[in-house]
């Protein structure tokens, strides 16, 4: 769904879920990065501690004579004796460079040999990551003062860092796997909580739809405290609309009665005045003109009152009306009015289809169209009501007669919305204008076609 400006709109649940999801991923992402770096630092610190222990092993077993180092006993760490074992030991001085290396380093070339002449202060350590091609090594050097109190040496240990980085990689894989699983689980739980938390709004929307369809008159569900003010105000609004609508209908009904009564009295007196024995030169023609104007005034009053009282499809107080029953009711009434014409009415009705609106609007609509069919038809009228639309969700009403029909040049004119009553063709225009207004108020469509019976065919379709 998009707004008129083209900006997409989302449900409240989607907005909250998106916001919480972004917050969750940012939080878990930062948490993962912090934990990953902390573990990496911890692994390196552990490597330094282990290298420091290896230096102490070298220092405890080493002895020096005439500037050369030798070991009185085998080293406790066997990797110092295994060629290319990944653990290498060195003894050096800043002035002479390398003085001794372990058997494991016999064929090993460090990525850098600068550490062999590096001066490390007595009692201090020097740690370095050494990159050599595709491999990385940890190097730790420790400065000592020999027993003679003069000579300073550096004991260094180099270890392959691959096992440490493999441990870090395994930890990182497990870390992101579990954080990802936790994120999915939290999102699912968050969705359930959002649906539960917003369910009163969904229930309110459903209740409003039931009010719109006429199943109930007000919001009656037990809503949370935060929504009780809204539901109370909506109920007041609905009740106010109902009372106001009733007042409108009562007042306009009284107005219609008040206007029609004087018109009926005048219309009843005119035939007496127009009698031949009372006719004078020119008076009959003037009285006939007055009579015509009274008829048109009566049509105007009927039309304007109908426009004022007709319901709207979007009214929250809309009801359903059975279309087949309404057609049968109107046809039965008109057959009594036009009994002398002996018109045969053929009906093809679906008794299950309903009109979603006020029954009075439906009766007024059918009354105008069928009255025209009876008035201008000769002997036959055909009425059909069936489902319409791609999925059969709409309603189609078709009324045909065998009269002279409506001229093609007047088809658009008689269906003009908002055309003034005093400009419409007498006898047909008022009724079709009323029908057009009612149909359009329910978002429907009206079409004037030619009938197979020879006259006009009026099709009315509601969505």
Helix (H, G, I), strand (E, B) or coil at 144: strand
Least confident piece of the model among 37-41, 332-336, 360-364, 419-423: 419-423
Query: Mean per-residue pLDDT for 142-150?
Result: 83
The string of pLDDT tens digits covering residues 340-352 is 888 899 999 888 8
C-alpha span between 400 and 282 (Å, rounded): 42
What CATH topology corresponds to 310-462? Heat Shock Protein 90 (3.30.565)
Q: What is the pLDDT of residue 420?
A: 35
Q: What is the pLDDT of residue 421?
A: 34
Q: What is the pLDDT of residue 268?
A: 62
The string of pLDDT tens digits covering residues 280-328 is 545 566 566 566 666 656 665 665 566 555 544 444 445 688 999 999 9
Residue 31 has, within 13 A of its CA and on its CB side, a CA count of 13
Is the distance from CB of 461 to CB of 394 less than 8 angstroms?
yes
Q: What is the pLDDT of residue 440?
A: 84
The string of pLDDT tens digits covering residues 56-84 is 888 888 777 776 777 766 677 888 888 88
Phi, psi of 203 (to 5 degrees): -65, -40
C-alpha span between 248 and 306 (Å, rounded): 12
Beta bridge partners of residue 62, listed in sequence order? 71
Phi, psi of 151 (to 5 degrees): -75, 135
Residues 6+ apart with CB under 8 A from 47: 138, 159, 161, 164
Is the distance from CB of 324 to CB of 349 less than 8 angstroms?
yes
Beta bridge partners of residue 308, listed in sequence order? none
**What is each CA distance from 242 to 112, 251, 317, in whole angstroms?**
92, 14, 7
C-alpha span between 255 and 244 (Å, rounded): 16
Q: What is the pLDDT of residue 280?
A: 55
Is the distance from CB of 311 to CB of 357 less than 8 angstroms?
yes
Beta bridge partners of residue 128, listed in sequence order? 139
Tokens representing residue 131 in the block: 């990159």
Q: What DSSP line would sit under 22-39, residue for residue?
A: HHHHHHHHHHHHHHHHHH
Phi, psi of 166 (to 5 degrees): -65, -40
Tokens representing residue 421 in the block: 């009553």
Rounded to the nearest 5 degrees, what angle is found at the Cα of 363, between the Cα atoms of 358 and 366?
Answer: 125
Q: What is the pLDDT of residue 72?
A: 60
In the chain, domain spans = 214-309, 310-462
Kindly state the percentage of the chain with pLDDT values over 70.
76
The radius of gyration of the chain from alpha carbons, rounded to an integer in Å, stands at 49
Q: Torsion over CA of 286, 287, 290 and 294, rounded to 10 degrees? A: -160
The string of pLDDT tens digits covering residues 155-203 is 999 999 888 888 888 998 999 999 988 888 988 898 888 888 878 887 8
Q: What is the pLDDT of residue 140?
A: 92
Is the distance from CB of 75 to CB of 83 less than 8 angstroms?
no
Higher local confidence (pLDDT), 302 or 144? 144
Q: Which of these, 160, 161, 155, lies nearest to 87 by C-alpha position?
A: 160
Least confident piece of the model among 15-24, 282-291, 381-390: 282-291
Query: Mean per-residue pLDDT for 404-419?
Result: 66
Residues 6+ apart with CB under 8 A from 40: 168
Phi, psi of 143 (to 5 degrees): -90, 135
Mean per-residue pLDDT over the chain, rounded: 78
């Amino acid at each position: 769904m998009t707004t008129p400006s083209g900006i997409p709109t989302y449900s409240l649940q989607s907005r909250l879920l998106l916001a919480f999801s972004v917050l969750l991923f940012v939080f878990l992402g930062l948490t993962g990065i912090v934990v990953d770096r902390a573990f990496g630092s911890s692994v390196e610190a552990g490597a330094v501690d282990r290298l420091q222990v290896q230096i102490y092993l070298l220092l405890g077993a080493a002895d020096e004579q005439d500037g050369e180092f030798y070991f009185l006993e085998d080293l406790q760490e066997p990797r110092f004796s295994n060629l290319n074992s990944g653990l290498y030991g060195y003894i050096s001085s800043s002035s002479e460079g390398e003085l001794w290396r372990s058997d494991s380093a016999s064929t090993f070339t460090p990525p850098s040999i600068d550490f062999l002449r590096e001066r490390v202060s007595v009692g201090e350590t020097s740690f370095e990551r050494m990159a050599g091609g595709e491999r990385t090594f940890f190097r730790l050097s420790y400065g000592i003062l020999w027993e003679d109190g003069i000579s300073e040496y550096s004991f260094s240990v180099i270890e392959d860092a691959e096992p440490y980085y493999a441990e870090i990689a395994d930890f990182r894989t497990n870390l992101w796997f579990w954080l990802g699983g936790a994120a999915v689980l939290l999102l699912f739980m968050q969705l359930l909580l959002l649906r539960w938390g917003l369910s009163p709004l969904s229930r309110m929307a459903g209740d409003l739809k039931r009010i719109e369809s006429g199943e109930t008159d007000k919001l009656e569900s037990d809503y949370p405290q935060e929504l009780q003010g809204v539901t109370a105000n909506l109920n007041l609004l609905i009740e106010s609309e109902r009372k106001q609508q009733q007042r409108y209908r009562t007042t306009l009904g009284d107005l219609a009665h008040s206007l029609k009564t004087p018109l009926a009295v005048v219309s009843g007196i005119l035939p007496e005045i127009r009698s031949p024995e009372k006719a004078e030169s020119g008076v009959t023609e003037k009285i006939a003109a007055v009579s015509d104007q009274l008829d048109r005034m009566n049509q105007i009053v009927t039309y304007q009152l109908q426009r004022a009282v007709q319901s709207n499809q979007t009214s929250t107080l809309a009801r359903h009306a059975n279309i087949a029953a309404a057609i049968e009711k109107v046809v039965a009434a008109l057959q009594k009015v036009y009994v002398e014409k002996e018109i045969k009415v053929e009906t093809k009705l679906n008794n299950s289809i309903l009109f979603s609106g006020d029954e009075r609007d439906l009766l007024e609509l059918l009354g105008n169209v069928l009255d025209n069919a009876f008035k201008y038809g000769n002997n036959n009228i055909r009425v059909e009501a069936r489902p319409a639309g791609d999925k059969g969700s709409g309603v189609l009403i078709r009324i045909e007669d065998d009269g002279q029909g409506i001229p093609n040049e007047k088809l658009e004119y008689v269906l003009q919305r908002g055309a003034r009553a005093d400009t419409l063709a007498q006898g047909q225009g008022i009724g079709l204008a009323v029908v057009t207004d009612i149909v359009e108020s329910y978002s429907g469509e009206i079409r004037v076609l030619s009938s197979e019976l020879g006259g006009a065919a009026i099709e009315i379709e509601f969505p």
